[in-house]
Structure 1
Amino acid sequence: MTRKPWDLPFVAEPEGVAALRRIMRLHLGLWGLHDVIDAAQLCVSELVSNVINHVGAGTHGTLAVSMTGSRVRIEVHDPDPRALPTLLDASTEAESGRGMALVSAIADRWGVEPYADRKVTWCELATGLTSPNGHVGGARVARAEAMLGLYGTAQLPRAATHTPLTTAVAEEAAIDLIADLLHWLRAHGCDADEVLDRAQIHFDAETAEKDALLS
């Protein structure tokens, strides 16, 4: 899966934070990174709220999201290089400082980059991927995607998101691949139905084990 960087201009207003959270959920869902959606939404809320509180409501900013290695990088750009976020030891009684403390606790790392006319506050979240274009479904899913890419879907335009069209074409490629494997088994004297049954048993067992670990 190709995960292309994207960015979105916004106006820093309290009522706009929810919309940015929804956009983050949508994009990370399309990227297949469901496990980091909640953390990413919280980071977006805190980074944008930091702009509202310390630069000012109505400030024009930009939300930028990309992959840095196997991490999701979230950046919030604003035009004030002077109002730098500070990580405070925010107790339950503290009126400020909680935002960046939450980001620091959730993210693998975070920082701020001041420039002459702006600053970029960023954080990075671990995804569990082995590569920027990898899949969190494990080795079997990664091998299947590699096979399908060689088999037919490599001819599709590469996109950062799945669409109904690309999903349908990928399904047809998977069906063709399975059918060809069944022909290969038959040509070599194997019982294709028995192989399918055994594959289903393996799949059900591994899926049940994974679900048990997650529950």
Structure 2
Amino acid sequence: MPASESFRIPKHRRHVPTARQRLRKTLADWGITDELADAVVLLANELVTNAVTHCRVPYSQIKVELTLNSTELVLEVSDPDRDRLPRPHDSTPEEEGGRGLALVAALADHWGCRQEPYAKCVWARFGLEEAHVPSAL
């Protein structure tokens, strides 16, 4: 049976560190503390920051879900602005932002987004090496 952790944070930048801390703790509890954990937390930071920055639904919450099974780790970040799907673009060196999805594409094995009935979800999948699969799974 897969392990899963799911939580919501208010749509505000000050809650992004809370999401990172919760994910880091969950990964450590699952025995994942190396470069994979660093990559997952970094991409969570990017996806959660994108959600709180670009979601136009006031007073909403961002849902963060992490699922671990025998072959992969899946990070999902959802927000209720279902019609604004993320689009990667080329940022100029002068731009301060706009590189988050390129980072997601570079570090995750696969990534994408989907529209749900009342939300959109951006996800990143990481294949697991045998060393990352907890014996409890």
TM over 0.5: yes
Alignment of 1:107-186 (within 5 A): 107-129=108-130, 134-135=133-134
2:82·2:120 contact (CA, 8 Å) conserved in 1? yes
CA 1:65/1:93 → structure 2, altered by over 3 Å: closer, same or farther? same
Identity of aligned residues (%): 28
Using the size of structure 1 for normalisation, the TM-score is 0.56
1:78·1:118 contact (CA, 8 Å) conserved in 2? yes
Using the size of structure 2 for normalisation, the TM-score is 0.85
2:67 pairs with 1:72:
no
Q: How far 1:117 sits from its partner (Å)?
A: 1.4
Q: Name the stretch that deviates more: 103-112 or 64-73.
A: 64-73
Match of 1:97 in 2: 98
RCO greater where, 1 or 2, for CA within 8 Å and sep 6 or more? 2
Match of 1:51 in 2: 51
Structure whose residues are more often helix by fraction: 1
C-alpha RMSD over aligned residues:
2.3
Larger Rg over CA atoms: 1
1:3·1:31 contact (CA, 8 Å) conserved in 2? no
Gaps of 5+ in 1: 136-144, 146-157, 161-215
CA 1:97/1:45 → structure 2, altered by over 3 Å: closer, same or farther? same
Match of 1:10 in 2: 9
Q: How many residues were matched structurally?
A: 135
Structure whose residues are more often strand by fraction: 2
Q: How far 1:68 sits from its partner (Å)?
A: 5.0
Match of 2:42 in 1: 42
Query: One-letter code of the match for 1:117?
Result: Y
Deviations 1:85-136 (A, max 9, x none): 1111234223442111111111111100112311111101233237x8x34x
2:62·2:79 contact (CA, 8 Å) conserved in 1? yes
2:2·2:69 contact (CA, 8 Å) conserved in 1? no
Q: How far 1:37 sits from its partner (Å)?
A: 1.4
Aligned-partner SS, 1:34: coil
CA distance in 1, matches of 2:28, 2:51: 26
1:52·1:58 contact (CA, 8 Å) conserved in 2? no
2:20 pairs with 1:21:
yes
